[in-house]
Amino acid sequence: MSALSHLAILPILIPLVAGLICVLARGRLRPLHRAVSLVSTLAVLGVAVALAVRTGAGELLVYRPGAWPGPYGIVLVADRLAALMLVVTAMVALAAMLYATSGGDGRGRHFHAFFQLQLVGLNGAFLTGDLFNLFVFFEILLIASYCLLLYGGGERRTKAALHYVVLNLAGSALFLVGVGTLYGVTGSLNMADVAVRVALLPPTDAALVRGAGLLLLVVFGLKAAVMPLYFWLPNAYASATAPVAALFAIMTKVGVYCIVRVFTLIFGPLAGPGADTILPWLLPIALVTQFVAYGGAFAARGLRRQIGYLLIASVGTMLAAIGLFTRDGIAAGLYYLIHSTLTVAVLFLVADLLARQRGADTDRLISGPRLIEPGRIGTLFFIGAIAVVGLPPLAGFLGKAQILAAAPATASGWWLWAVTLTGSVIALVAITRAGVVLFWQTESSPAPAAPRTQGRALPVIGLVAALLALTVLAGPVTSFTTAAADQLLQPAGYISSVLGGP
């Protein structure tokens, strides 16, 4: 086997080894930690891009750790969707990591170890083709996220973490119930195999298998932060350190990814008794989520909490598009997913730049000290705000336009229209209020000893550049997401290449 043939497992192995090296490196924080972390993240980005290129060319990479055939061993599968998620993750991770190296990673031990292991969990979740292995990677990314969330200490973080951890432990238990039931009914764990077996089940198993699917929806919904399972998010993200919050922008997308994967592959239209299990559920859930989230963004008294709610709203937006379960809907949703991840990361980092210069590390939406670099931070914020509201000319607008265009001329379609458009108006007013207060309605003098942004701005600018690229290259990117959607809606190819010999 050539080195290239191992491509699909590298996004897991590289950060794993890097993380372990970071643990071995003695001392709290040394240049070595940063170097290893940086190299690893860059390498993962490179691999991810390579995977995107190959899957983009129509290839579907199947990797079998242990070289066990068919459904018996664990299998990693890189299709377009997985590659897409990997690339987005790597991009956000790189920015967050660079931002952290300007000081955020010195507040305690093991930052880079946790960071890399977080990547292991994320990438593994995107790549694995095995339900129980998915559970394992969920646990990795969760335990790592617990540590990252608590990173830096402090009362607010402890409080937020307590909620986050307990809820997710309950979620993990439910995950096992769902997977267990599916195994009990189908006798397999390999997603492709389970898909085949579910389709062959007798109609008398409908309730059981659908129930199992919907339990998994609850688990994934908890990660994706949809109504009524999102309550852990605003405080958690608002209290996490900036680079962690930025990295967490991808965390909710893991839930979204799993929903797309499981409910197109296992519970798709061809799934016999399990067919279209969440078709009636997802769109309403997504719309309600948007509604309450925009409300929360409007009500927010702090910038970070507002961003958190806008993040939830964006999850609702993309899930609404995906909830259509049409090619265009899924494609639009995936495009919006890229946009929203980058945007939210930008905003969380900008919020930190801003809070630092306002002194007392505050992002409260009240008149405060004047920024010493209003132009620089203001521009970044303005771009991020336009993007997150979905105003022209940025990707957010193109994404929403795609979603609206994909909505069918049915009652649900019009609901999607109404919620998306009115939501945008609310978001516009809300973020305008925040921006005006933070940047214009300031005291005449800056805070004492306010730090300049210096190198911190670079990763943010990098993300903004990526956002602009996503805007300009909307055409090509959308054809990729569309191809990904096709791949998801015709799982036959996926199944055959997974179950076909080693």
Partner 1 sequence: MTLLLIVLLPFLGALIPPLLIRRGRTVAALAAGAVPVAALALLIPLWPTVRDGGVPRWRIPWLPQIGLEFDIRLDGLAFLFAALVLGIGVLIVVYARYYLSERDPMGRFYALLLLFMGAMTGLALSGNLLLSAIFWELTSLSSFLLIGYWTHRADARDGARTALAVTGLGGLALLGGVLLIGRIVGSFDLDVVLASGALVKADPLYPVVLTLVLLGAFTKSAQVPFHFWLPGAMAAPTPVSAYLHSATMVKAGVFLLARLFPVLAGTDLWFTLVVGAGLLTLIVGAYSAMFQNDLKGLLAYSTISHLGLITLLFGFGTAEAAVAALFHLINHATFKASLFMAAGIIDHETGTRDMRTLNGLWRTMPYTGVLAVIAASAMAGVPLFNGFLSKEMFFAETLAVPPGVAWRWVIPAAATLYGVFSVTYSIRFVYEVFFSGPGTGMPKEPHEAPRWMRIPVEVLAVLAILVGIFPNLIVRPLLTASAAATTGGVIPPIELHVWHGFNLPLLMTVIALVGGFFLFRRLNVLLSVRGGYVRSVSAKGLFDDGLFAVLRMARRLTRTLETGSLQRYVLYFVLAAIVLAVAPVVRHGWPLGAETSVPADGPLIAGWGVLVACAIGTVVWRRQRLVALIVISGAGVMVTLAFARIGAPDLALTQLLVEVVTTMLLLLALHHLPQEAAAGSSRGRLVRDGAIALTAGAGMAAITWAVLTRPFSSISTYFLENAKTQGGGTNVVNVILVDFRGFDTLGEIAVIGIAALGVTMMLDGLHADPRGRPFLMSRDRTPLILTSIARPLLPFALMMSVYIFLRGHNMPGGGFIAAILTSIAIMLQFMANGIPWTAARLRVRPQPVIAWGVLIAVATGVASMLYGSTFLDLAFTYVDFPLIGEVELATALFFDLGVYLTVVAAVILMLTALGALSSDAAAPDDYASEGDPWRS
Partner 2 sequence: MAFLMASAIGVLVAAGIFLLLRARTFPVILGLSLLSYGVNLFLVTMGRLRGGSAPILVAGVTDQVDPLPQALVLTAIVIGFGMTAFLVVLALRARLTLGNDHVDGEEPDA
Stretch 353-382 residues interacting with partner 1 (CB under 8 A)? 375
The tokens for 420 are 């998306």
**Cβ closest to partner 1, residue 211 vs residue 462:** 211
Q: Residues 394 to 433: which contact partner 1 by CB under 8 A?
A: 397-398, 401-402, 404-405, 409, 417, 421, 424-426, 428-429, 432-433
For 3-35, b/e burial (b = at least 16 CB within 10 A) is eeeebbbbbbebbbebbebbeebeeebeeebbe
Contact at 8 Å (CB) between 343 and 388?
Answer: yes
Reduced DSSP (H G I as helix, E B as strand, rest coil) percent helix, strand, coil of the chain, to 5: 75, 5, 20
The answer to whether residue 236 forms part of the interface with partner 2 (CB under 8 A) is: no
Q: Residues 171 to 190: which contact partner 2 by CB under 8 A?
A: 172-173, 176-177, 180-181, 183-184, 189
Q: Which does 415 bind (CB under 5 to 8 A by kind): partner 1, partner 2, none?
A: none
**The CA-based dihedral angle spanning residues 18, 23, 24, 25, taken in that order and rounded to the nearest 10 degrees:** 90
Q: Which does 6 bind (CB under 5 to 8 A by kind): partner 2, partner 1, none?
A: partner 1
The answer to whether residue 206 forms part of the interface with partner 1 (CB under 8 A) is: yes
User: Distance between CA atoms of 322 and 257, rounded to whole angstroms?
Assistant: 10
The answer to whether residue 166 forms part of the interface with partner 2 (CB under 8 A) is: yes
In whole angstroms, what separates CA 6 from the centre of its chain?
25
> Residues in contact with partner 1, total (CB under 8 A)?
120
Q: By C-alpha distance, which of 315, 326, 198 is closest to 258?
A: 315
Q: Residues 443 to 472: which contact partner 2 by CB under 8 A?
A: none
How far apart, in Å, are the Cα atoms of 151 and each of 230, 243, 250, 291, 492? 21, 11, 18, 32, 44
Residue whose token pair is 């405080």: 235
Minimum gap (Å) between residue 68 Cβ and partner 1: 6
Q: What pairs with residue 364 in β-bridges?
A: 302
Q: What pairs with residue 302 in β-bridges?
A: 364
Per DSSP, the three-state class of 76 is strand
The tokens for 385 are 């705000």
User: Distance between CA atoms of 307 and 297, rounded to whole angstroms?
Assistant: 7
Q: Which does 296 bind (CB under 5 to 8 A by kind): partner 1, partner 2, none?
A: partner 1
* DSSP code for 369: P
Minimum gap (Å) between residue 76 Cβ and partner 1: 9
The answer to whether residue 263 forms part of the interface with partner 1 (CB under 8 A) is: no
The answer to whether residue 163 forms part of the interface with partner 1 (CB under 8 A) is: yes
**Cβ closest to partner 1, residue 282 vs residue 466:** 282
Which range, of 112-120, 245-253, 263-271, 356-364, touches partner 1 by CB under 8 A?
112-120
Residue whose token pair is 């089940």: 201
How far apart, in Å, are the Cα atoms of 441 and each of 43, 173, 301, 346? 44, 48, 15, 23
Contact at 8 Å (CB) between 63 and 423?
Answer: no
Q: Residues 313 to 342: which contact partner 1 by CB under 8 A?
A: 328, 331
Q: Which does 46 bind (CB under 5 to 8 A by kind): partner 1, partner 2, none?
A: none
**Cβ closest to partner 1, residue 415 vs residue 417:** 417
**Cβ closest to partner 2, residue 52 vs residue 189:** 189
User: Distance between CA atoms of 236 and 247, rounded to whole angstroms?
Assistant: 13
Q: Residues 23 to 62: which contact partner 1 by CB under 8 A?
A: 23-24
Q: Which of 90, 147, 236, 457 binds partner 1 (CB under 8 A)?
A: 147
Q: What pairs with residue 430 in β-bridges?
A: none
Which range, of 20-28, 163-171, 406-414, 438-446, touches partner 2 by CB under 8 A?
163-171
> Residues in contact with partner 2, total (CB under 8 A)?
25
Q: Which of 78, 140, 266, 460 binds partner 1 (CB under 8 A)?
A: 140
In whole angstroms, what separates CA 297 from the centre of its chain?
19
Minimum gap (Å) between residue 147 Cβ and partner 2: 8
Which range, of 89-97, 203-211, 240-248, 338-346, touches partner 1 by CB under 8 A?
203-211
Question: Which amino acid does the sequence have at 190?
Answer: N
The tokens for 151 are 């990173």
The answer to whether residue 107 forms part of the interface with partner 2 (CB under 8 A) is: no
Minimum gap (Å) between residue 132 Cβ and partner 2: 6
Q: Which of 2, 66, 67, 155 binds partner 2 (CB under 8 A)?
A: 155
User: Distance between CA atoms of 463 and 8, rounded to whole angstroms?
Assistant: 25
Q: Which of 32, 73, 74, 146 binds partner 2 (CB under 8 A)?
A: 146
Contact at 8 Å (CB) between 51 and 78?
Answer: yes
Minimum gap (Å) between residue 385 Cβ and partner 1: 10
**Cβ closest to partner 1, residue 221 vs residue 491:** 221
Which range, of 81-89, 100-108, 166-174, 307-315, touches partner 2 by CB under 8 A?
166-174
Neighbouring CB atoms inside 10 A of 363's CB total 22
The answer to whether residue 109 forms part of the interface with partner 2 (CB under 8 A) is: no
DSSP for 238-264, please give it: HHS-HHHHHHHTTHHHHHHHHHHHHHH
Residues at the site binding partner 2, with contacts judged by CB under 8 A: 132, 136, 139, 143, 146, 150, 155, 158-159, 161-163, 165-166, 169-170, 172-173, 176-177, 180-181, 183-184, 189
